[in-house]
């Protein structure tokens, strides 16, 4: 017995350190990045750009897995149920913080089953108008809405999106009644506003920029907290109605229980990439202002956004599409 114990004891340090070695070796095989939208959209393009960059950094393929549907719930559930080994990551957007209040039957717990990794960047949300609308800025638009309550309407990419909810917040703060017309995506909403069927549009600035330049849409105001350096000439809502702001967030999440060392490595690599001039410039061209936050900072952002959107969802009566 003593001889067997002497033989076993030298093996204990190796057994105790093997998980560390496994983390040090990560990634030793391809990593999957789950994107909650179909190929071809802006978030898909941003996710693929990130996947390409991380593949270069890690020396392993980062394989994109598109899982659209149910307001990003399908994709997020794939991540939540995946082994927590660092080999499945997911792209999270603003609906990640909206869904816990909007949807009562989520198949996962947003805060318990998922690990925030890093906020990659933010997109600017804009209120546009058909060029024929007799209002050139937000103050004139709100005055028009007060004179004609319930006569104006706005299109959004769908009920429960950040675009919808921040406009509902503006309506409450400004005391106006503007009717919501939800669409299934930004493109059909744009078409109807340009065609004059709906006078106002809630959109991502990147998606509207070309149409604004062509004179097909009129910018009213951005919902960013302050005028972004990339769009300095368009006023923000808070200049007219203080306390109203929102941005569309794009980040990376992992299954809860993913080793902290792996989470920290992924986060640090994303942060370094976000501050690399060439990569940051490509993100900006896609309408995403680089952030590259720590896991702790991204967790705080998600928790704050859940608290921010909950009363807006309840007050607006928003329902999941």
Same domain assignment for residues 150 and 213: yes
Pair (294, 200) in one structural domain: no
Can you list the positions of beta strands (E) in 140-281? 153-156, 179-182, 200-204, 218-222, 247-255
Pairing of strands 114-129, 289-290: antiparallel
Domain boundary among 239, 269, 297: 239
Quick one: angle between helices 260-274 and 42-58, nearest 10? 110
Q: Average pLDDT, stretch 262-285?
A: 94
Look at residue 286 and tell me if it is in a domain: yes
Q: What is the mean pLDDT of residues 208-219?
A: 96
* One domain, residues 113 and 102: yes
pLDDT tens digits, one per residue of 240-257: 999 999 998 999 999 999
* The domain boundary residue, chosen from 217, 239, 261: 239
Q: Is residue 17 part of a domain?
A: no
Clarify whether residues 219 and 141 are in a common domain.
Answer: yes
Within 8 A by CB and 6+ apart from 153, the residues are 178, 179, 180, 181, 198, 199, 200
Q: Identify which has the larger pLDDT, 75 or 229.
A: 75
- Considering the domain architecture, whether residues 94 and 166 belong to the same structural domain is answered as no
Does residue 79 contact residue 47 with C-beta atoms inside 8 Å? Answer: no
Residue span of the structural domain in which 254 resides: 30-121+247-316
Mean pLDDT taken over the chain: 90
Q: What is the pLDDT of residue 23?
A: 60
pLDDT for residue 6 is more than 50: no
CATH number at residue 294: 3.40.190.150
pLDDT band at 321 (very low <50, low <70, confident <90, very high): low
The CA-based angle 214-215-216, given to 5 degrees, is 95
pLDDT at 63 over 80: yes
Rounded-to-integer distance, Cα 76 and Cα 67, Å: 9
| Domain identity same for 167 and 64 | no
Q: In the chain, what are the helix, strand and coil shares in percent, each to the nearest 5? A: 45, 20, 35
The answer on 201 and 97 residing in a single domain is no
| φ, ψ (nearest 5 deg) of residue 62 | -110, 110
Both 128 and 226 in one domain: the answer is yes
**Tens digit of each residue's pLDDT (9 = 90 or more) over 164-185:** 999 999 999 999 999 999 987 7
DSSP 131: T
Is 9 contained in some domain? no
Predicted pLDDT of residue 76: 97
Report the CATH number that the domain containing residue 199 is assigned in CATH.
3.40.190.10
Q: Which of 278, 252, 257, 256 is nearest to 267 (CA)?
A: 252
- The answer to whether residue 22 is domain-embedded is no
86-90, 162-166, 260-264 — which is least confidently predicted? 162-166
The pLDDT of residue 185: 79
- Residue 151 shares a structural domain with residue 201: yes
Tell whether the model's pLDDT for residue 224 goes beyond 70. Answer: yes
Q: Does residue 11 lie in a domain region?
A: no
Count of domains in the chain?
Answer: 2
Dig out the tokens for 250 from the structure: 């794009």
Residue 7 within a domain? no
| 14/137: higher pLDDT | 137
182, 214, 239 - which closes a domain: 239
Same domain, 229 and 272: no
Q: What 3-state DSSP class applies to 70?
A: helix
Residue 166: name the closest of 1, 315, 20 by CA. 315
In a domain, 18, yes or no: no
10, part of any domain: no
pLDDT at 318: 78
Tell me: do 229 and 271 sit in the same domain.
no
In this model, does residue 1 exceed pLDDT 80? no
Bridge partners, 65 (sequence order): 34
Q: Is the pLDDT of residue 41 over 60?
A: yes
If asked whether residues 110 and 254 sit together in one domain, one would say yes
């Amino acid at each position: 017995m003593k001889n067997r114990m002497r033989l076993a004891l030298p093996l204990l340090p190796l057994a105790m350190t093997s998980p560390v070695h496994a983390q040090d070796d990560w990634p030793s095989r391809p990593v999957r990045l789950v994107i909650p939208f179909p190929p071809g959209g802006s978030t898909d393009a941003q996710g693929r750009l990130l996947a390409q960059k991380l593949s270069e950094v890690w020396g392993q393929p980062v394989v994109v897995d598109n899982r659209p549907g149910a307001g990003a719930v399908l994709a997020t559930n794939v991540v939540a149920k995946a082994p927590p080994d660092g080999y499945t990551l997911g792209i999270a957007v603003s609906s990640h913080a909206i869904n816990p209040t909007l949807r009562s039957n989520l198949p996962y717990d947003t805060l318990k089953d998922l690990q925030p990794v890093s906020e990659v960047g933010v997109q600017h949300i804009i209120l546009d108008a058909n060029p024929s609308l007799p209002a050139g800025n937000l103050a004139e638009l709100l005055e028009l809405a007060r004179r004609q309550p319930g006569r104006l309407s706005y299109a959004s990419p769908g009920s429960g999106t950040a675009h919808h909810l921040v406009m509902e917040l503006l309506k409450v703060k400004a005391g106006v009644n503007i009717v919501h017309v939800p669409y299934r995506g930004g493109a059909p909403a744009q078409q109807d506003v340009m065609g004059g069927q709906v006078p106002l549009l809630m959109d991502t600035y990147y998606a509207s920029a070309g149409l604004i330049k062509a004179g097909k849409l009129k910018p009213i105001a951005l919902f960013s907290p302050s005028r972004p350096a990339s769009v300095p000439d368009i006023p923000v809502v808070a200049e007219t109605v203080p306390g109203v702001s929102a941005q569309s967030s794009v980040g990376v999440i992992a299954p809860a229980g993913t080793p902290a060392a792996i989470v920290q490595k992924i986060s640090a690599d994303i942060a370094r990439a976000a501050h690399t001039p060439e990569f940051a410039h490509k993100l900006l061209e896609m309408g995403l202002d680089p952030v590259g936050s720590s896991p702790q900072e991204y967790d705080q952002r998600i928790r704050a956004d859940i608290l921010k959107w909950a009363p807006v969802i309840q007050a607006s009566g928003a329902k999941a599409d």
